[in-house]
Structure 1
Amino acid sequence: MAPRKKESREPVVIDSGSGYDELNLGRLSLISGQKTVPANLRTWQKNIVTPDGRPVIITCSTIDQQVIPHGLDNDFMVGLLNLCFEAGLPDGPFTVSAYGLLKAAGFPDSAQYYRSLEESLVRLNKAQYTIDEGWYAQGTQRWTTQSFAQVSYLAYQRSTAGVRETSVITVQLAPPIMDSLRSGYIKPLDLKFYRTLSQPLVRAVYRQLDTLQFDDAAPSGLAKELQFPLMGWASRLGIVSDRPDNVERTLRPAHEELLANNYVRQVEITGRGKEKLIRYVFGPPAVSEHPELVSLLMDRGVKQGVAVRLTLVFPDRIEEAARRFDHYVATSQRPIGNRGGLLVSMVQRPEDFANLPGYGAAPSPGAGAAQKREARSGQQQVGTRAPKVDQDIEVLEARAQAHIEGLTGAALYEWVYRQLSVVGVMKRLSPHERGLLEEAIREGHVDGRQLVREMTRRMHAGVHAVEDAIADLRLQVTPQ
């Protein structure tokens, strides 16, 4: 068993334009975007729909007479997510100074914001959420039910005047949030732009839209527009009103600011009363200052919109990630189903790919001529490997194969689900068909390992073979 990471005790601070958002938190919007809420609002429930169309019920309740999380709590939570990355995603609590958390949230160093910081941390620790079959677990690629407080552990120092810049704060984020961060269920967040937005509700609308815009089915990887029932959109954002005219009025300043910044180029509300719909048309794609890095990513399978976002947020990581990717492609003996997704992961989570067998980082500018020639030679001889590399890869693949052969029941289905998701099969099946497939694999009526091999082969044989493969799979799992 690998040693557990120790608690991070060194105060850390983040003050850059690059950052992350966890996709569940961004999509579910667990914190009300309103700057203020009624003082007696201690619980709420809302209904949303997952990206694959299933309804989800989310509830929030607080203790100790606390009001629900709202307003600036969103910003402090974004700060904590990014500080957690800075701390190395520790297994236990991590520590930061109050000043560091203010900076990570994008706020000035003032007594007012130190008071807000303390109040927010308490609310994030006291509010309990239950998400019914709506939290996506990246590891198993399944929707799960979760119940947690976003900050599961909290300790801090305060003087008689309250929290100050040197106060040490120790927090631990909820286990499902940490699992999600470690598994890479994240997206780049432009903290520089996020911090320019003037009010909590503007930032909440931006964060929600920016998460929902990411769409694997879109040609560029980013949706061009989104549409929602107006009252459902208000519920997502935590706007406390049952009157459509009040919701429109509340959202108007946020819309005006996002339009002025060209993040959206059109906001359209149509219909009458509670049947109104709201439609957002996104502005022109961001222009990268590093077109050569965009091309580098796109040449390796990353969609244009996602490539631009990555170069805006992580420009210093792209070239090294591409080198690691090229090495992996050249040495892997297994087909890579989603090349673009793999490279995105290498950019977002470089630490997960730090120990690729046989890989050495590019030579430094001061390296000798012989070392540089050796590196160039290795890049030119794609497909050739040193014996030690072959041995390392063979050992890893043998271990992986032995593990797969030993899977049964639910564990086997979870492995099949992941493999078929990578090649695009699972999204073609209805929830009912997925249930039939799970039952067939669990009971041994379908050989999951053979199914993955056959479906992977046929999914790479052209569009007609894909349709035939899906039809055959449906026949296999449908009761006769």
Structure 2
Amino acid sequence: MVSKGLPMKPSRQAQYHDELNLARLNVILATNRTKLQHWQKKLQLDAFGEIAIECTAANGHVVPHGLDNDVLMGLITGAVLQNVEPGGEIRLTASELVRLSGLPYCERVFHRLEDSLERLQWTALKISEAWLDEGKQHARSVKLSIVSKHWVENVEDAAVKNPGQWQGVTKLVIRLDPELTRSIRIGYIRPLNSAILGQIKQPMGRSVYRALSLLRTTSTANGPIPLRMELPLVAWADHLGLTHHLPALNRMQKIQRALEPAHTALQSAGYLKDIEYSGRGDDKTVSYTFAAAEMQPVNPEVAQLLKPHLGEQRAIQLATELTSDHVRKVLAQFERLLQTDYSRKVRSRPGLLHDMLISPEKYNSVTGLPEKPSARQPVRELMPINDVMPTPNEAAFEMTFKVLSKDWKEANIRQFKPRMWELYKGGHITISALSRQLADLEPSMVAAQLDRWEEAI
């Protein structure tokens, strides 16, 4: 149980995720305040076709806005980490949701967190032929509420002070719409740049960053991600939800003024290099020149191919790097290799497959030992990994466990130590995975990660 918030240092931040449909549709207004109970938009900004969506809040509520976009990111990231099935629930403390949402830890945020989940539950989205499955071009219509249901699990816990008031130890159970969790499970997600998000302090700035970041990857059907992009200003403001609050008089100047704080934040964070406006009246455009590289979206087909072999997190990481053709070719080679005598030398099948995916030139023959790469040919690695090890190193394990213990209370992690050791000793998990993946989790989420590793054996 977490009683204190974790500092949001860049090295300790979670790997945030967006679900690509909601990110593309941008269903949450960028403004920090609103009185709206209904809005709709119909526009086209990218190569995937028209966006047509209607948003209606229940009586007594307003539509999601501002900080709600951060909470949505936290819910999607939590669903990814816990591998939630359609119709299943995310279970985490309020402190964990705050951290996964990239929000500061304070009592005021907990109150706003409760309000945000209410808005996400009591708002209906009607999406017309704009919901994509697995990245396919054919879009369909859906109706959903982002949160189907949520409740507090430990309201009767005597150890919880002021049980009616949300605090760090409040245990939340949140059920997302099945359409959303299905999309997450098939890998229709993308990683977000935690370092950039951590430098943008206002919700509106983060909303503009996420919308612009995705639009940059979907603006063209093929080819490299552009370094410069020009957008019609009115459509861009409509997409962000800014025009609902602006009177018609001097609308263009007011749009520019509304965008200015977000633009300044994105330049300060090193994401944007320059912003230029051109044209007049309704034909006015805004041009963005980018300074930072873009996080690649997840290839859902690659994620689906690799998850049975490598597990959720590593499959998602590789799905941002590799093509479907490459993965299918290597998987076929991997299966052939396991039919040879070399299979008896394999200590870790996930480790072997990972190495084959990133260094295929080492495995030109499937009938013997991997060929050594040329001294002049650097071996590309996506992350440090020591899956294929001679023997388990108990000293290395103890050192890793000691480092993890510094971040978590000893009582929280001690119960997991035997399971970690058995996974490591059996060659099913690496020191790298322990130090990298577990270090980014709250203690209450570790058991679920260990379950996934054990199920993959």
TM-score scaled by length of structure 1: 0.58
TM-superposition CA deviations, 1:78-133 (whole Å, max 9, x none):
00100111111233112111111111112232110000100000000001001111
Deviation of 1:156 (Å): 2.1
Q: Give the structure 1 partner of residue 44 of structure 2.
A: 49
Q: Which has the higher contact order (CA 8 A, sep 6+)?
A: 2
Q: Could you say which residue in structure 2 is the equivalent of 1:341? A: none
Q: Structure 1: where are the runs of 5+ without partners?
A: 1-12, 289-293, 295-301, 303-312, 334-352, 366-371, 386-480
The answer on whether the counterparts of 2:47 and 2:219 sit within 8 Å (CA) in structure 1 is no
Residues 252-304 of structure 1: per-residue CA shift (max 9 Å, x gap): 01111212222111111112223211111211537x9xxxxx9xxxxxxx9xx
Cα–Cα, structure 1 residues 78 and 187, in superposed 2: closer, same or farther, change >3 Å?
same
What is the alpha-carbon root mean square deviation over aligned residues? 4.0
Contact 2:199 2:269 in 1 (8 A): no
Note closer, same or farther for the CA distance 1:64–1:143 as it changes in structure 2 (3 Å cut).
same
Q: Counterpart of 1:250? A: 258
1:28 maps to 25
**Once the two structures are aligned, what percentage of the paired residues are identical?**
27
Aligned residue for 2:213? 210
Summarize the alignment of residues 32-431 of structure 1 with structure 2, pairs less than 5 Å apart.
32-38=29-35, 41-49=36-44, 51-52=46-47, 54-91=49-86, 92-138=88-134, 141-156=137-152, 159=162, 161-215=164-218, 221-239=224-242, 240-241=245-246, 242=248, 243-285=251-293, 328-330=328-330, 332=332, 358=338, 380-382=363-365, 384=367
Looking at structure 1, the residues matched to 314 and 270 of structure 2 have their Cα atoms a distance apart, in angstroms, of: 22
CA deviation digits over 1:137-188, x for unaligned, max 9?
Answer: 1176521111100111211256465211111111121122112212222222
2:317, 2:120 → 1: CA distance? 32
C-alpha distance 57-191 of structure 1, shift in aligned 2 (>3 A): same
User: In the alignment, which residue of structure 2 is the partner of 1:411?
Assistant: none
Comparing 184-193 with 146-155, greater Cα deviation is found at 184-193
- Contact kept in structure 2, 1:107 and 1:113, CA below 8 Å: yes
How many residues get paired? 318
Partner AA of 2:119 in structure 1: R
Structure 2's unaligned 5+ residue stretches are: 1-5, 156-161, 297-301, 303-312, 349-354, 369-457
Residue 328 of structure 1 and its aligned partner are, at CA, apart by 4.8
Change (3 A) 1:229 1:379: closer
Shift of 1:357: 9.4
Partners of 2:202 and 2:58 lie apart in 1 by: 27
Per mean C-alpha deviation after superposition, the further-off stretch among 74-83 and 168-177 is 168-177
Q: Say which SS state the counterpart of residue 27 (structure 2) adopts.
A: coil
Q: TM-score, normalised by structure 2?
A: 0.61
Q: Relative to structure 1, is the Cα distance of residues 364 and 162 closer, same or farther in structure 2, using a 3 angstrom cutoff? A: same
